[in-house]
Structure 1
């Protein structure tokens, strides 16, 4: 059905159209000058030393695991309340994901206490997902990682320009991945970014991104090299200049977009505070964040009730979603028999409300009032 209020909207205008047109007219549409420009913008805006444009966030996470030296037989700690790619990337390199619980309905990020409990001699890394763009407890996580000599990979796909104690998310661990999927804050349809402050890791990432080749097509076409060697078993994880040209325009818009999202969230918080039997995760957060999505969790509830509430809202023309089905319940992983009570409660009782910069106060008020009516029924 069509919705009067969709879950998100595409923040595009003629600037993206013109950027694509110029790139096509330039005659260079694969990985080239626009990808390089985008990478430089990322370094400047995120205050990070190195950025490598990637075909998508899943591939960027795969590269994170590769460059961090994760191998078959290793274990990697990660949350289950996230998109499947956050765990699949661990399996891609032959390692085993070990699922950790979240803090609770009020804070949907991985619980450092559960991380500490599940460390074994096989543990080599932690994948941290900054849910909805809100930072995980990174001081505690980095302390645990240092104590046990573990790598920290940040899945920051929800949090471009989000901050934790003055640092941009993605710049705290060893390396990080960002997403440019169609519904993300930076939207190109497909695309992603690998970032790090470690020269050794970025050199490996650049090499593995393009078949393990010592030079890329753009370098050879520019006259910087005429030959290449293949020195590692790499992948085709390259972004192209068409998608990069869109991402550049999206990055230019991002600060203004995030400012408006703060307004939308503040309006939500004002209205939702009047509704009993719900929790608004991260309501006490004081950091600057991306506000990628607007989750609420029903209390004293179950999956059937949550679904009835969603259906009521859909019938009123409001699109909602669920972030996320728990990964450890999927057929691929359920034989591992993890019990994650906080994750399981949230995945059965969370509702994602519409969130985008153009959402008016009147529409936020209507969403809140509709949620209140749905709960009363």
Structure 2
């Protein structure tokens, strides 16, 4: 690890000439150890979690609908714990966050091909889920903090969208009270894509509990990581029953999801899509729930440590939450105000050379599917035309730098990040 000045909040960090030479230009990097990310095997797992999976495998019962009473299955227990944790009436474990969003839309009973609003700054899975449910995505601009732009949402609501899929992108909450008020004015349902924000809140209320449905993922680097998987939350009993059927509960298996009399939903009136979670993933997810509060606390600690030391640094605009603490903290996102996409791409490469994984979200040479102009399945092959149609999002995403923050980071690692950002920023200036 290279010698360096200790990072401080406020004024500029002073580097010696040797320290100031960037690693991308042959200098010594701030750190030489790997930056922990899920694709390098970074997981938040214990021996107890591993034991739960082993027990499920040895049971020889891998299908969620077997001879046992449903509450005795791994999936049934996991769903009931989710309902208690989030304070919702119903939870449905499924195969992915994408299918959870699609199930919520399907259960809303919209006319096929309905226009459904979603933010232009999101992962490609959001519009993909809308298409999977048989509807048409309508993209909404983001604001300077990369949140859903309320004025543009008003515009698309006035033009007749039939539902709104809100995304808490990179773990930062959208303004759910304001969005739900707007949607209520137009009488359209809200589905929360809380896939990247499992465990985050606005005040005392969990994200994923504001809309009619809340969709979550348990894939890759999510707060509960089972490799693949997801779940859906709702308080709407009848809509929940429809989602259960769509997910693959056939031959009266829907009834197992209700302790009393099930709602009068005809399980032969809907197609079944086999979007179920299996027992092995449910066993792992259920065990991981025990340590979720610890993981969330570490995310908040690490993000707060980094944000405090970068707040007010000239040249970068930290993403601001819609309310105090309304973020997960698993990613640091800031904008290089006024920088070109090419400058931001260079900045991200320089950070990576310093030993801190980073990505310029608007890098034109990167097939990053968080950049809407790469959604050829939706917008066609002309990226310039796509960017021209959404100039506000193009600008703000084009200035954005994204750095993953593992719960396994120590405060020394966080200090390395701060030092690397200040070092590269000094060179850019």
Q: TM-score, normalised by structure 2?
A: 0.80
> Does the alignment pair 1:326 with 2:371?
yes
CA gap 1:94/1:218 in 2 versus in 1, 3 angstroms: closer
Greater shift after overlay, 145-154 or 310-319?
Answer: 310-319
Instruction: Point out the more displaced range, 152-161 or 133-142.
Output: 133-142
> Could you tell me whether the CA contact under 8 Å between 2:199 and 2:223 is conserved in 1?
no
2:54 counterpart (21, 24, 40): 21
The CA distance in 1 between the partners of 2:102 and 2:74, in whole Å, is 23
Equivalent-residue separation in structure 1 for 2:105 and 2:360 (angstroms): 27
Query: Equivalents in 2 of 1:44, 1:322: separation in Å?
Result: 38
* Structure 1 vs Structure 2 CA RMSD: 2.3
User: What's the counterpart of residue 48 of structure 1?
Assistant: 88
**TM-superposed deviation, 1:289:** 3.7
How far apart, CA to CA, are the structure 1 residues paired with 2:328 and 2:402? 15
Deviation digits for residues 7-46 of structure 1, max 9, x if unmatched? 4531122122111111112221222500011101100111
User: Match of 1:223?
Assistant: none
Shift of 1:47: 0.7
Asked if 1:307 is matched to 2:345, the reply is yes
Distance (Å, rounded) in 1 between the aligned partners of 2:268 and 2:360: 43
Give the aligned partner of residue 200 of structure 2: 162
Structure 2 partner of 1:103: 143
What residue number does 1:225 align with?
A: none
Q: Does 1:5 align with 2:5?
A: no
Corresponding residue to 1:357 among 403, 407, 429: 407
SS in 1 for 2:232: strand
Cα distance between partner residues in 1 of 2:267 and 2:211? 31
Residue 191 (structure 1) shift: 0.3
Gaps of 5+ in 1: 220-227
1:365 & 1:163 partners in 2: Cα distance? 26
Name whichever of 58-67 and 119-128 sits farther off.
119-128
Distance 1:154 1:368 in 2: 32
Q: 1:304 to 1:7 in 2, by over 3 A?
A: farther
Any conservation in 2 of the 1:186–1:250 contact (CA below 8 Å)? yes
What are the residue-to-residue correspondences of 1:29-68 with 2, within 5 Å? 29-31=62-64, 33-68=73-108
> Which of structures 1 and 2 has the bigger CA Rg?
2
C-alpha separation between the residues in 2 aligned to 1:276 and 1:334? Answer: 36
Partners of 1:183 and 1:30 in 2: how far apart?
Answer: 25
Partner of 2:261: none
| CA distance, structure 2, for counterparts of residue 139 and residue 229 of structure 1 | 34
User: CA, structure 1 residues 84+229, in 2 after alignment: closer, same or farther (shift >3 Å)?
Assistant: closer
The answer for the alignment partner of 2:116 in structure 1 is 76
Report what 2:163 is aligned to: 125
Q: 3-state SS of the aligned residue for 2:209? A: coil
Mark the CA change 1:344 to 1:50 in structure 2 (over 3 Å): closer, same or farther.
same
Task: Go from structure 1 to structure 2 and tell me whether the alpha carbon gap of 1:99 and 1:215 turns closer, same or farther (over 3 Å shift).
Answer: same
Q: Decide whether the 8 Å contact of 1:161 with 1:290 is kept in 2.
A: yes
Note closer, same or farther for the CA distance 1:119–1:229 as it changes in structure 2 (3 Å cut). Answer: closer
Contact 2:338–2:399 (CA<8 Å) still a contact in 1? no
Query: SS of 1:194's equivalent?
Result: strand
C-alpha distance after superposition, 1:64-120 (max 9, x if no partner)? 11011233331111101111111112122332111001121xx22211211111224
Say whether residues 1:316 and 2:354 are aligned partners.
yes
Q: Calculate the TM-score normalised by the size of structure 1.
A: 0.90
**Alpha-carbon distance between aligned partners in 1 of 2:329 and 2:336, rounded to the nearest angstrom:** 20
1:275 pairs with 2:320: no
- 8 Å CA contact retained: 1:73, 1:122: no
Question: Unaligned stretches of 5+ in structure 2?
Answer: 1-31, 66-72, 258-265, 362-368
Aligned 8 A contact 1:212 1:231 in 2: no
- After superposition, the C-alpha distances for 1:227-257 in whole angstroms (9 at most, x for unaligned) are x974421110010110011111221111111
Match of residue 247, structure 1, among 282, 285, 289? 285
